[in-house]
Structure 1
Amino acid sequence: MMMFSTNNILHCLLVGQSFFLVFHFNCKFKCNQKRLVWLSLATTLLVWYWWLPHAPLWAGFYLATLILMWVAQRYAKPIGHIWWCYLPFAVLFAAPFMIINYLSLRGIDVGWLWEVGSCLVLAGLLWMVHFGVKRQRAKTALLKSEARIDELTQLNNFRVFNEDLLTIYQQSQISGTPFALYTFDIDHFKGINDRYGHLMGNQVLEAVATRMEVVANHLGYPDVRCYRTGGEEFSLIIPQIVPSIKQAEKIAWRIHDELGALHFVSEAGQPFQITVSLGEDRSRSDDQNYLDVYNRADQYLYNSKRAGRNTVTINGQTLTQR
């Protein structure tokens, strides 16, 4: 009886460890690591199936186990999403082990109910661990997203802007290809909040962010990135540009005009529009760090404000007409 109990324990541990490695632990690995874990486990199980006495059909059961291992690895997310898919699959996964073990022992009663029950309990515990880890990962992902995405406009925030600006600057220094930075803010935004209320002000910010992304997607450059970098201040980075003042002016006026074309209606039924002041510059070969281009573009934005707002400043030159 002691031998049979030990057999039960070892058998349950083998099933549980195999299921855990394939279904849970393997999900964290990269492709080559997954392949290594899968092959190592397949080899171990091959030895176990081959070693079993009185099991001439072991190859078929081994093949069934390999297929179930592949299914567990390939469809881990949908299977593990809900318990009533997870637990039946766990029982199905354990079935080849239990059947071949039963045949190997020639039907000797070694406490099969205990063994089946132990496998179910083990599957339930693994589900609890799986669900807890999944919930924790979801919370972590949400916290990371909230730390990087502006909640109101759903644009990347200043933290992401700072990281991206550094990365693009470093790439530009290596490739020698400049990038452009446009930064603007909404003119008299405080007056909008004071006159129409903060809820209306939030609607303005949301509309500006939405239109900004639409404009960015139609500029003809790949990987244009949009950010909310302050209260009413927004920025746009265009990597890998061909230096051209005319093209910079065209893009700046397009942003300016698209945002100026937005129409709003207050709760009191008063229609109004907005204007923006914009500054643009591109990276230079003599820049000392990644913030140089941002400082220039930000300074040019304030040049536009000092010139009366509702205009653009490109490469240090404020444009009063097109």
Structure 2
Amino acid sequence: RADREMQKKAAAEVQAAKEAAGAAPDADSELPPKPKEGTRNPAVDSSGAGNGNGAAARVSDFPPTKRLPWFRVTRRVARVAGERLGTSVVVIAASACTVFGIGAWEGFLLSAGSEAQWAYALRYGLENILPSTVWTSVDPALVARDMGLDAYSVLGHASHDAATEMAVWRLHVLRVVIAPFTMLAQVTHVVSVTAGARREYERRVLNGDAQMLPGIRERVVRVCGRQSDVTALTLTRVGEHIVPVFEEAGPVRPLTHAHSDGLRIPVFWRVAKADVGHAFAWRRMGIDETWFIQTTTGRKVLMLEADATNPDDVLTGDCRDLSVQDAILAFGQLAAAARRP
């Protein structure tokens, strides 16, 4: 009995010493030591590999990614619509100015001899811009009363002879012909283009032609060939912090659908094999200072990687999906793009 009490006392002292020192479990235990709170488990690297537990046990070195604000995608869609509109906005503005000028000329003739001739002419032209698109005009007397003027004092001084009436009629006809067939047609075109801008943006995301969205700090550019299983795993674990560059969009479309949040967020950048060494292929990628990663010495670097594995032919002697020459050319163009203001 005394021996058992001494053994219990010794075991309690050992356990107390372990708890005080924060010791790990016994060496014969199969469980790894539990890391202290606030420290990183050395068995888990930045890519989540090394512990076999997948993304759930991963500790990422990248800063957390905030949910993308809705207005960034909306602004990008509006920019796509602006690119497709071309000269439509200019034509609408020119047509509106032309209709305004013709209407002001009408008002100037109708109010000839009045002290408020210029003010009335400008107001009459402005009020008739929209009505002209449906082949009508605002009553001249109504415009005068809305300005707080006596209609007879404004419109009664004109001679209203046949020549003046014919001139006013010609201007009226010219105005109602120009407005519907130029301004209204262009407005319809703008509405159609704006409605299709979302589909155009989604097509660019799917094809790798959409510029990377800003707001993600610390990114790694990985130059791949046609496809990459390694990059598919990295996207799952670090999300938008990895920017893969592929040669073709077709083989990676399932990857794009999986990580683009309904084709809202660009996932990769596409550069054809023949264009790797050309600056224009990298200019619109969207590299900025937020992509740079700060080192322990305080310097900021743009992290570039290359993945040359070919998942379709991994057992052959030469399974590279990306040549060394293409990787060097890509790195050179990426470095040049990062230096551009």
Higher helix share: 1
Above 0.5 in TM-score?
Answer: no
Higher strand share: 1
So what's the TM-score if we normalise by structure 2?
A: 0.31
